Amino acid sequence: MSLAVIYQPESPAHDPEIDAINEEAFGPGRFTRAAYKIREGGPHERDLSFVAMHDGTVIASVRMTRIVAGRGRALLLGPLAVRPAFKNIGIGRRLVAIALEAARNAGEPCVVLVGDEPYYGPLGFKRIARGQITMPRPVDPDRLLAVEILSGAVAALTGEIRHADA
């Protein structure tokens, strides 16, 4: 299917639509997720967060939040969500690729997420070694993934991940 989709950095005007998309995708349980707990610690990076627009409406969103762990720092990717009517046409993958490219261009050291390896692996994400980092709430260690941009950046992440401002 060929659809007119515009990708652009997020702005505050998109917030209500993004909240609705995330509620639809993750339900009320989203507030109890480990990554949500970290993101509660401060703002996300608007310049590195993107929306997909169709017909003037937000149809998908990816956010990036600055985090630290030990002497390492990174961006936490998520939430990533696509409105159900627009799933499986490549929008999620494209948003991840755009966010990674923006992180690279900004000289960021690495990007971390909690997610499914079968989906994110082909986009360049690799498992973080078991026990190297922890989250403020339990997560399946096989779902802790990272893309290294600057050499040594993933190894520098140790211990509990928290928001860079927390």
Ligand X SMILES: CC(C)(COP(=O)(O)OP(=O)(O)OC[C@H]1O[C@@H](n2cnc3c(N)ncnc32)[C@H](O)[C@@H]1OP(=O)(O)O)[C@@H](O)C(=O)NCCC(=O)NCCS
Q: Which is nearer to ligand X, 40 or 116 (CB)?
A: 116
The 3-class SS string of the chain reads: CCCCCEEEECCHHHHHHHHHHHHHHHCHHHHHCHHHHHHCCCCCCHHHCEEEEECCEEEEEEEEEEEEEECEEEEEEEEEEECHHHCCCCHHHHHHHHHHHHHHHCCCCEEEEECCHHHHHHHCCEECCCCCEECCCCCCHHHEEEEECCCCCCCCEEEEEEECCC
CB of 132 to ligand X, least distance (A): 20
Q: What's the min distance (Å) between Cβ of 119 and ligand X?
A: 4
Work out whether 119 is an interface residue with ligand X (CB under 6 A). Answer: yes
Judged by CB under 6 A, the chain residues 1 through 60 that form the site for ligand X are 25
Contacts with ligand X, 60-99, as mask; x by CB under 6 A: --------------------xxx----xxxxxxx------
Give the nearest distance from C-beta 153 to ligand X in angstroms: 21
Report in angstroms how near the CB of residue 61 gets to ligand X at its nearest: 9
Count of residues in contact with ligand X, rule CB under 6 A: 15
Residues found near ligand X in the complex (CB under 6 A): 25, 80-82, 87-93, 115-116, 118-119
